[in-house]
Structure 1
Amino acid sequence: MSTTAPNPIHLTVDMSFQNAHMNIKAYVSTLIGVPGRTLGVMVTPLTVKYVCYDTECIRIDLITKTCFSPNWIIGLSSDLQQVAGSLACIQEVLSTVLQDTEDVLSGKVSADNTVGCFLMSLVNQVPKIVPDDYETMLNSNINDLLMVTYLANLTVTDCPQRDTCKPVNGP
């Protein structure tokens, strides 16, 4: 049995990754004509908004990097490498913001009130944490992570007496 949507959306996906972006366009078709007689179809472009979960973003970034790799092979990066990459991006953005702010203060560039309001809003969103409290919180999270890793490794190890080891489910 086949079903069709009354008003389907048509997608075009350009996988050439021009400018390091996967280009997706969407269209919807509308019948045109006179009452009682259809003469054709009009295709109208739609606005496409990319929304994805963090895990999906990681996969899309991996596909993009693979496209530009000379041998089309690229390995998965470790969690630490991903954190380092994210921090490098944040540092680059902060350097750009700092340079733009210095240009405004020195008079090289005229001030833009919308940018100033956005920066002020961004600064106000950063939680104010005492450095000692932050360090305690970070150490606690690291200890929790190490404990979970240790327990996970314990469950993976083989039992030396595999035949006699039985799960404890009760009497």
Structure 2
Amino acid sequence: MMATNPLDRISASKKVIIKMSGLNLTVRVHPVVLFQVVDAYERRNADSHRVIGTLLGSVDKGVVEVTNCFCVPHKEHDDQVEAELSYALDLFDLNRKVNPNENVVGWWATGNEVTNHSSVIHEYYARECNNPVHLTVDTSLQGGRMGLRAYICIQLGVPGGKTGCMFTPIPVEVNSYEPEVFALKILQKTMGVSPPHRPKTVSPMLDLTQISDAANKLQGLLDLILKYVEDVIAHKQTPDNAVGRQLLDLIHSVPHMSHEQFTQMFNANVRDVLMVITLSQLIKTQLLLNEKLTFLPTKTN
């Protein structure tokens, strides 16, 4: 049980001490974290207006990479906060057995603002990690979107007097691994009008279909770049130095190879994809046959 302690006002005539640690941090949140937060909010108790939990990830060179999270059951009263800390510790220990590289980097809460109880909860996480991050996810969709904000707590006070903390916003962005990007693209295809009580379903594309789709998108982007370059050369469009530098970096990133070398590399990659598809189909067929043979009824004499 954690009891709240409201901060007293600090007199302007006194010298104020402010500890500005952690202001150079940047938070990168992965989509799986947002899905887990929304899922925990949808599964909350009927009398719960806010859901909190622990953020897991890593910190490297001023960047907090949030890759996982879990919910912590709690109850908020007017003068205190009750949280099941033993449950949080047990769940963290279980997660460490699966993901040993993930550590506690802060905590999250649903809503679009920092409440009076946030300082008490933040004080607990300050004992679990250095400069914990507080992430708020607006599940009420104010403004038509799910707002995402990140804060750190700055210590302030007067010498020999009252001390407290102040939540200060820090930059936050959504970052995705390649598998997460693929999953998000599939989820985007489920958006649209569907019959009532019958959600729209989309099946993952085959590997060759994905290659064809990616090639078509790449061709469209190349056509767009060529049109921009031709318009700039013909003085139909004002050149942009930033775009020019990005195009130059893009050209330098392309390896120098002949047409025959590119054709050989492309054909080799296609053969690798076909081999993986063939092996996966064989394994799937073998598993189905094994399942049929295992559960085949035996005759008794």
Q: Which of 154, 172, 183 is 1:59 aligned to?
A: 183
Deviation at 1:87, TM superposition (A): 3.3
The aligned counterpart of 2:200 is 73
State the one-letter code of the partner of 1:44. T
Alpha-carbon distance change, 121 to 82 in structure 1, aligned in 2, over 3 angstroms: same
Gaps of 5+ in 2: 1-84, 90-123, 295-301
Distance of 1:135 and 1:102 partners within structure 2: 28
C-alpha deviation, 1:75, in angstroms: 0.8
Other-structure match for 1:167: none
| TM superposition shift of 1:59 | 2.0
Query: SS at the partner of 1:26?
Result: strand
Q: Which residue of 2 aligns with 1:169?
A: none
Deviation string 1:7-31 (CA, Å, 9 cap, x unpaired) is: 4322233565x89x86532122334
2 CA distance for matches of 1:120 and 1:10? Answer: 40
TM-score (norm 2): 0.43
Note the C-alpha offset of 1:56. Answer: 1.3
Question: RMSD in angstroms over aligned alpha carbons?
Answer: 3.3
Higher relative contact order (CA 8 A, sep 6+): 2
- Partner in structure 1 of residue 134 of structure 2: 10
Q: TM-score, normalised by structure 1?
A: 0.67
Q: Equivalent of 1:141, from 253, 256, 269?
A: 269
Unaligned stretches of 5+ in structure 1? 164-171
Aligned amino acid, residue 77 of structure 1? P
Supply the AA of the counterpart residue of 1:86.
Answer: A
The 1-side partners of 2:149 and 2:219 are apart by 32
> Could you tell me which amino acid in structure 2 is paired with residue 27 of structure 1?
Y
More strand by share: 2
The CA distance in 2 between the partners of 1:70 and 1:113, in whole Å, is 42
How does 1:18-167 map onto structure 2 within 5 Å? Answer: 23-35=147-159, 36-38=161-163, 41-66=165-190, 68-71=191-194, 72-78=199-205, 79-155=207-283, 156-157=285-286, 158=289
The amino acid across from 1:5 in the alignment is: Y
* Alpha-carbon distance in 2 for matches of 1:101, 1:14: 42
